Amino acid sequence: MIRERDSNLIEALLDRELTPAEQLELQQALRESPAARQHYWQSLMQDRLLRDLLRETRGHDMALVETPMGQQPEAALVAPQQSRVTPRKSLLRSMVIGVLAASVLIGLFAWTKSAANLAAPLGKLQSLSGQVTIREADGRTSPAASGTIVRYGQSILVESEESSAELQLDDGSTLLVEADSVLVLPSSATAMAGAREHARARFFLERGGLTVQANFPSTQQPLLFTTAQALIKVLGTEFRLYSDAHESRLELNEGSVQLLRQADQQEIVVSAGEYATIPTILVNQKLELLEAKTLSRAKCELRQTMLRAGRSARLSSDSQLMATVRGRELRLWELASGKVVKQINQFNTPPEQLAFTPDNQAIVGITQKGQLLQWSLDQTEPRLTQLSEEAIRMTHLAADGSAVAQAIAVKPARLQIWRMNENAPAASSQQTFPAKPWSAAVSPASQIQTAASAQWDGEIELFDLNSGKLLETWHVARSARPVEISQHSRYLAAYGHEDGLYLFERKTDAAKVSKPGRSLWSHIGARVRCLKFSRDEKLILAGFDDGLVRVWSTQSGEMLLVLQTGDPRVDDLDLSQDGKTLITVGQNEAVKVWDCVWPELLEGV
């Protein structure tokens, strides 16, 4: 049993700095009492968990920037309703937990009732990558491998960012379970058939993303999928389904799907090229009309594919040339003919990021280890310069090759900016900003040039490189990466590890308070790998680890394009200055060139 005094000291430690005398007293208690040690770790873990649970942040107001402990933030006093955890959120959370708990209970009930069918095989796992686990109905887990037979009542857990698993059903349908997803399989064939008329099976997407290619004769019963918010009856199709605590989102490539909203049983048919979303409904909340909307108002058509072209690619501003890196080679392509016109390979470590200079006469490249490459295209050899050799967490090259930002981890941790010089030395360190950056970004040279530091705790700071001033502080839930700044530093896009893609807009000179961030994509089942703004700042493009490119209007936040590249993931992308040419780089170093047409308002980007 812990002594009250020890308990008080532990609690005091959580709320403030202990005095030296108190620290000594607690040290003594921890040394002497196993109960105190146990209670100490329990309290600390609970404290960390509470911080974790109650700080599920979104992009938010500048007035709510976290202040050091002990200082009293004014905003919190005058605007308590702006606290990150509002009653509405709290209610939402309880509902989600309730729904999930109910689903689990229903699942357990069904499983118990149909134990006889548990052993029946449902399909086979194939094309596994990363960490995939099978969870039995009783909670036991075991690692899965390609070829593993999955059975009714089991769940497939795809656990990390690099993982995915494909489930092939006996009728040839395939279900691609994306990273960070949990798919609960039907509890039993017979139980499910009885549970709903026409139902052959029902899958529950607990969270994450799922791509389905249904392949069955019309005489068979349709597949059924559920999420916390929706029930989807497959009528012969290919679709993607995403589910999290906030909403379910269904996107259709082919065929059609019958979508039912669990809250009011409203049903619609979603057809090819359409999508529909169902948000989590709060108690007494008025339901909006459920409708299918057009998935992509913009259109991109594949012009050519260059196999084994490289894993990083950039377009010249006139869209005539493309630079790629493959192995130790930096290649220059003529886009019209698809041929390599020049190449160099005089470096040990190839650059990982590339940029054309604005006059298209030179290419700048940078390695993650900080080696800078400047290749004047009329020369046969590049100029190589080693920038900082310290522990670099991330390096970012400006889209016009004018500057490099480095997130440096060793003490003093900092954001370091290098500017390119035309003559020797190749680059000079322009500025450093005190920060603990997890990732960094720097904008192209413009009237205002900025750099951003995204910290471990989700704080993102935007600095003016001319004045050295801190312009903005924004937040995401935790460590944002990648981060990208638009041409004139009007926008910053950041992908938060836990809460998705956000678009932040820099406040005008007259505005005192920053605008809150706009959430563009919250489904962590599909993660952003690369970001790029169009040169005119009207579009933000994101390449995902499920092989899709999504493009949003920066002004309205509307998703304008969902492009299936046909690759397992998108490692890099670039959009030409006129917006008509898009290049994507897939996992297998295939560079694809796309001709794009944007909605009327955005034509001529």
Partner 1 sequence: MASPSTPELRVQTLFLQHAPLLQGFIYGLLGDRAAAEDVFQETFVAVAQSAASYDPERDFLAWVRGVARNKVLEYWRRQGSTPRLVSEEFLEEMITVAEQYDLTDWQARRTALARCLEQLAPRARQIVELRYAEVPLLSAAIAQQLGWTVNAVNVALSRARSFLQTCTERALRIQGET
Strands 174-177 and 164-169: antiparallel
CA pair distance 582, 590, nearest whole angstrom: 14
E strand intervals along 522-558: 528-533, 539-544, 548-553
67 binds partner 1 (CB under 8 A): yes
Closest by Cα among 524, 502, 497, 500 to 515: 502
In the list 154, 479, 522, 534, the residue contacting partner 1 (rule: CB under 8 A) is: 479
506 binds partner 1 (CB under 8 A): no
**Stretch of 76-84, 236-244, 314-322, 534-542 lying at the interface with partner 1 (CB under 8 A):** 76-84
Q: Where are the alpha helices (DSSP H) in 164-291?
A: 189-195
47 binds partner 1 (CB under 8 A): yes
In this complex, which beta carbon is closest to partner 1, that of residue 276 or of residue 384?
A: 384
* Shortest separation between residue 219's beta carbon and partner 1, angstroms: 43
In the list 6, 57, 276, 552, the residue contacting partner 1 (rule: CB under 8 A) is: 57
349 binds partner 1 (CB under 8 A): no
Helix (H) or strand (E) holding 495: strand 491-496
* Shortest separation between residue 563's beta carbon and partner 1, angstroms: 18
Q: Could you identify the residue written with the tokens 């991109």?
A: 300
Cβ-contact 125, 162 below 8 angstroms: no
* Shortest separation between residue 50's beta carbon and partner 1, angstroms: 5
603 binds partner 1 (CB under 8 A): no
In the list 33, 62, 84, 317, the residue contacting partner 1 (rule: CB under 8 A) is: 84
Cβ-contact 330, 350 below 8 angstroms: yes
In this complex, which beta carbon is closest to partner 1, that of residue 329 or of residue 352?
A: 352
Which residues within the stretch 373-402 sit at the binding site for partner 1 (CB under 8 A)?
391, 393
In this complex, which beta carbon is closest to partner 1, that of residue 247 or of residue 457?
A: 457
In the list 3, 5, 88, 94, the residue contacting partner 1 (rule: CB under 8 A) is: 94
Helix (H) or strand (E) holding 39: helix 34-54
Check the CA dihedral 95-96-102-106 and report its sign.
positive
Which residues within the stretch 175-194 sit at the binding site for partner 1 (CB under 8 A)?
none
* Shortest separation between residue 268's beta carbon and partner 1, angstroms: 33
* Shortest separation between residue 326's beta carbon and partner 1, angstroms: 11
CA pair distance 271, 258, nearest whole angstrom: 9
CA pair distance 173, 193, nearest whole angstrom: 18
In the list 75, 120, 281, 340, the residue contacting partner 1 (rule: CB under 8 A) is: 75
* Shortest separation between residue 279's beta carbon and partner 1, angstroms: 20
Instruction: Tell me the per-residue interface mask from 207 to 246 with partner 1, x by CB under 8 A, - otherwise.
Output: ----------------------------------------
CA pair distance 96, 102, nearest whole angstrom: 10
**Stretch of 33-41, 421-429, 553-561, 595-603 lying at the interface with partner 1 (CB under 8 A):** 33-41
Residue 470 pairs in a beta bridge with: 463
In this complex, which beta carbon is closest to partner 1, that of residue 48 or of residue 293?
A: 48
Cβ-contact 546, 562 below 8 angstroms: no
In this complex, which beta carbon is closest to partner 1, that of residue 11 or of residue 558?
A: 11
In this complex, which beta carbon is closest to partner 1, that of residue 135 or of residue 200?
A: 135
**Stretch of 93-101, 201-209, 292-300, 548-556 lying at the interface with partner 1 (CB under 8 A):** 93-101
Which residues within the stretch 305-334 sit at the binding site for partner 1 (CB under 8 A)?
311-312, 325
Reading the block at residue 92, the tokens are 């939402």
Task: Report helix, strand or coil for 212.
Answer: strand
In the list 3, 83, 145, 336, the residue contacting partner 1 (rule: CB under 8 A) is: 83
Instruction: Tell me the per-residue interface mask from 134 to 163 with partner 1, x by CB under 8 A, - otherwise.
Output: --------------------------xxx-
Chain centroid to CA 269: how far? 29
In the list 3, 5, 38, 220, the residue contacting partner 1 (rule: CB under 8 A) is: 38
Q: Could you identify the residue written with the tokens 């069918």?
A: 117
Which residues within the stretch 398-417 sit at the binding site for partner 1 (CB under 8 A)?
409-411, 413
Helix (H) or strand (E) holding 32: helix 20-32
In this complex, which beta carbon is closest to partner 1, that of residue 362 or of residue 407?
A: 407
Count the Cβ atoms, other than its own, within 10 Å of residue 87. Answer: 9
In this complex, which beta carbon is closest to partner 1, that of residue 123 or of residue 496?
A: 496
Helix (H) or strand (E) holding 451: strand 450-455
* Shortest separation between residue 542's beta carbon and partner 1, angstroms: 11
Count the Cβ atoms, other than its own, within 10 Å of residue 598. Answer: 22
**Stretch of 59-67, 234-242, 287-295, 460-468 lying at the interface with partner 1 (CB under 8 A):** 59-67
In this complex, which beta carbon is closest to partner 1, that of residue 52 or of residue 334?
A: 52
Which residues within the stretch 534-573 sit at the binding site for partner 1 (CB under 8 A)?
571-572
Chain centroid to CA 545: how far? 9
Closest by Cα among 539, 578, 579, 576 to 555: 539
* Shortest separation between residue 223's beta carbon and partner 1, angstroms: 29
* Shortest separation between residue 233's beta carbon and partner 1, angstroms: 31
In this complex, which beta carbon is closest to partner 1, that of residue 23 or of residue 345?
A: 23
- CA dist 203 → 28, 113, 122, 239, 316 (Å): 55, 18, 11, 14, 47
Task: Report helix, strand or coil for 90.
Answer: helix
In this complex, which beta carbon is closest to partner 1, that of residue 55 or of residue 299?
A: 55
Mind spelling out the 3-state secondary structure of 173-184? CEEEECCCEEEE
Instruction: Tell me the per-residue interface mask from 443 to 462 with partner 1, x by CB under 8 A, - otherwise.
Output: -------------x------
Size of the site for partner 1 (CB under 8 A): 81
Closest by Cα among 532, 535, 556 to 544: 532
- CA dist 433 → 31, 414, 462, 465, 557 (Å): 42, 6, 10, 10, 31
Instruction: Tell me the per-residue interface mask from 3 to 32 with partner 1, x by CB under 8 A, - otherwise.
Output: -----x--x-x-xxxx-x--xx-xx--xx-
283: CB partners within 8 A, 6+ apart: 91, 95
